[in-house]
Amino acid sequence: MPTYKAPLRDMRFVMDEVFDFATGYETHGLTDATPDMVSAILEESAKFAGEVLAPLNRSGDEEGCHIDDGVVTTPKGFKEAYQQYVDNGWGSMTGPVEYGGQGLPASLGLVVAEMTASANYAWSMYPGLSQGCSAAIRAHGSPEQKKLYLNKLVPGTWTGSMCLTEPHCGTDLGLTKTRAVPREDGTYEITGTKIFISCGEHDFAENIVHLVLAKLPDAPAGTKGISLFIVPKFLPDANGEVGERNGVKCGSLEHKMGIKASATCVLNFDGATGFLIGEINKGLNCMFTMMNHARLGTGMQGLCHGEASYQTAIAYAKDRLQMRALSGPAAPDKPADPIIVHPDVRRMLLTMKGFNEGNRALAYYTAQLLDKAHYSKDESVRANAEDQLAFLTPICKAFMTETGLEVTNHGMQIFGGHGYIREWGQEQQMRDCRISLLYEGTNGIQALDLLGRKVLMSQGKMQRAFTKEVHQFCQANEGHATLGEYVTKLNKLNAEWGELTQKIAMRSMQNREEVGAAAMDFLMYSGYVTLAFFWLKMAVAAQATLDAGTSEEDFYKAKLATQEFYFKRLLPRARAHVEALEAGADSLMQMTAEQF
């Protein structure tokens, strides 16, 4: 049976030795996040994830959620685990102090979220959605709304949901049909059907705060006519306690490929009372506050399933005896060798390591940017962090999930036929991971966001905010004694990255389809180069420690070997993406719809 043990040593390597989170906390005046406090939080979180959440992962998948006349029951043990999570203050960790939060750094929240989500992704969605909901209310709510809702959402007493999608519109929110009719008392009457609402109904908490996109009767067409509303399941009374039941009901649960323990709801709003949040017709801006949060979280999903899959796979690869090593028996006393002796099994394991640890470095770097953007006292640091975040968010969302799915696929393959059997949990990791390429904006949408909105619309500014970091790193490490060849390689790719942008920009002036035609390959190229940067950063740190002498030689040598593997066996794929995108739009657009 699979278990999850938080990879604290790997996590601390990135936090402490690659990015130096501690100095960041000092600089930003995050004085509560002392080294001792950080260690205690990581240890306790690892325990909670491994001992409370992980044991519920497979039973949650087998049992799923159930609905009876609009009442949703989550799998056995789920709501008790949530109560424990709330009681122990995990939910409020990074929340603002004025609403009952602990004000700890966003970056630490992300590291802790990695553990809960790796242990049990479906469970982790319930608190995850609340975080996005809180962020939107904090950014756009009135003082009264903040007081009322954040005091409940931040500690986790209530949970949240995001209600965007409708049967006929997912990507294209301009087609929203849900109506919001103003009432005389300043509230709105919300009517419509929302689908695919994660954690839209459940038994975790006494109330659920739905954030709902809807259109006023006289709203302009398209996305310019969308407003955002708070629609609580139970209307709060004068004291902010749960009052009257609101007119929103779960009509059914979706039957899905995976994340079966996460309730995916059809929500019917039938004249429900809604409260406008932010300005009329500016709902999409508010929604993006939640979406950006959710997109980073979804990117993490790729890492989390990948890590869980790797842990089960590496244990199996060391244990399962099958065939002899090509170079002669490695375990002559046993009937066969453990399969980790076989080059192709190692190819899969190293691919898993290469993506997982690279993705973790990318995620933690992004987490550090969140800290900078939230807490830095230097405006130019904040602005630069915002630019880099804007640029890296679609890469995190799409590249980490594409590669995460590949990792879980290898994690099954290493098991042979046993990987296909539910008992081992490897197929669940792949099924659960698969959604991450779809929700919070499909990966194709992320690619358009990256190339169209972020790169081209900012005239390359957001891209340069990041490539400058890469360039500076390459300059600082030029001629590195052992890693010099890789520095040269990265520097070239980094330069090519900018050139590709230029080329696409030129072509798109002739033909707007060129942006869409290049987008996905551009995103994947960006991901491979980004991870090359982080792998090399990790290798430089590892080499320095080895040079200085360490009792953990194996740990650091593994980092160097995985970096080499990444450069030699994964990074070449970047070339295929360049060739593909240089084929241009014609190769995609010449066929008529009828010819398909």
Q: Find out whether 129 and 264 touch, Cβ atoms under 8 Å.
A: no
- Least Å distance, CB 571 to its own copies, is 9
Nearer residue to its own copies within complex by CB, 39 or 510: 510
Query: How far is CA 492 from each of CA 77, 82, 308, rounded to the nearest angstrom?
Result: 52, 48, 34
Q: Find out whether 411 and 429 touch, Cβ atoms under 8 Å.
A: yes
Q: Return the CA Rg of the chain.
A: 24
- Least Å distance, CB 328 to its own copies, is 8
- Least Å distance, CB 590 to its own copies, is 5
- Least Å distance, CB 407 to its own copies, is 14
* Residues between 355 and 414 that touch its own copies (CB under 8 A): 405, 409, 412-413
- Choose the catalytic residue: 440, 478, 513, 514: 440
Q: Which of 157, 442, 458, 491 binds its own copies (CB under 8 A)?
A: 442
Q: Find out whether 190 and 179 touch, Cβ atoms under 8 Å.
A: yes
* Residues between 290 and 319 that touch its own copies (CB under 8 A): 314, 317-318
Q: Is 563 a binder of its own copies (CB under 8 A)?
A: no
Q: Which of 419, 466, 477, 526 binds its own copies (CB under 8 A)?
A: 419
**Which SS3 state, helix, strand or coil, does residue 231 take?**
strand
Task: Specify the amino acid at residue 495.
Answer: A
Nearer residue to its own copies within complex by CB, 110 or 294: 294
Nearest to 570 by CA among 523, 515, 525, 539: 525
**Which SS3 state, helix, strand or coil, does residue 591 take?**
coil
Q: Which of 355, 427, 455, 483 binds its own copies (CB under 8 A)?
A: 427
Nearer residue to its own copies within complex by CB, 544 or 589: 589
Q: Find out whether 273 and 247 touch, Cβ atoms under 8 Å.
A: yes
Number of residues that bind its own copies (CB under 8 A): 100
In this structure, is the dihedral angle defined by the CA atoms of residues 508, 513, 514 and 516, taken in order, positive or negative? Answer: positive
Nearer residue to its own copies within complex by CB, 383 or 580: 580
* Residues between 132 and 171 that touch its own copies (CB under 8 A): 165, 168-171
Per-residue binder mask for its own copies (CB under 8 A), 486-515, x = binder: -------------------------xxx-x
- Least Å distance, CB 493 to its own copies, is 13
Nearer residue to its own copies within complex by CB, 238 or 591: 591
Nearer residue to its own copies within complex by CB, 389 or 570: 570
Strands 208-215 and 159-163: parallel
Nearer residue to its own copies within complex by CB, 226 or 385: 226
* Residues between 230 and 289 that touch its own copies (CB under 8 A): 254-258
In this structure, is the dihedral angle defined by the CA atoms of residues 546, 551, 554 and 558, taken in order, positive or negative? Answer: negative
Q: Which stretch binds its own copies (CB under 8 A): 67-75, 100-108, 292-300, 577-585?
A: 577-585
Q: Which of 488, 516, 545, 546 binds its own copies (CB under 8 A)?
A: 516
- Least Å distance, CB 558 to its own copies, is 4
- The rounded distance, in Å, linking the Cα atoms of 506 and 95 is 45
- The rounded distance, in Å, linking the Cα atoms of 438 and 76 is 28
Verify whether residue 440 is a known catalytic residue. yes
Per-position DSSP letters for 94-140, written without gaps between them? TS-GGGT-----HHHHHHHHHHHHHH-HHHHHHHHHHHHHHHHHHHH
**Which SS3 state, helix, strand or coil, does residue 205 take?**
coil
Please list, in sequence order, all residues whose beta carbon lies within 8 angstroms of the beta carbon of residue 183, skipping any fewer than 6 positions away.
189
Q: Is 172 a binder of its own copies (CB under 8 A)?
A: yes
- Least Å distance, CB 473 to its own copies, is 23
Nearer residue to its own copies within complex by CB, 230 or 317: 317
Nearer residue to its own copies within complex by CB, 231 or 435: 435
Q: Is 228 a binder of its own copies (CB under 8 A)?
A: no
Burial of 112: CB neighbours in 10 Å, binned 0-12, 13-18, 19+: buried
DSSP 8-class letter at 243: E
Q: Which stretch binds its own copies (CB under 8 A): 91-99, 297-305, 393-401, 563-571?
A: 563-571
Q: Which of 211, 296, 345, 395 binds its own copies (CB under 8 A)?
A: 345
Q: Which stretch binds its own copies (CB under 8 A): 300-308, 393-401, 434-442, 531-539?
A: 434-442
Q: Which stretch binds its own copies (CB under 8 A): 295-303, 358-366, 531-539, 562-570?
A: 562-570
- The rounded distance, in Å, linking the Cα atoms of 358 and 47 is 24
Q: Which of 308, 349, 369, 407 binds its own copies (CB under 8 A)?
A: 349
Q: Which of 60, 141, 192, 338 binds its own copies (CB under 8 A)?
A: 338
Q: What backbone phi and psi angles, to 5 degrees, belong to 180?
A: -125, 110
- The rounded distance, in Å, linking the Cα atoms of 301 and 408 is 11
* Residues between 191 and 220 that touch its own copies (CB under 8 A): 196
Q: How many CA atoms lie within 13 A of 536 on its CB side?
A: 31
Q: Which stretch binds its own copies (CB under 8 A): 101-109, 131-139, 419-427, 537-545?
A: 419-427
- The rounded distance, in Å, linking the Cα atoms of 320 and 45 is 31
- The rounded distance, in Å, linking the Cα atoms of 381 and 354 is 30
Q: Find out whether 190 and 272 touch, Cβ atoms under 8 Å.
A: yes
DSSP 8-class letter at 269: E
- Catalytically annotated residues: 440
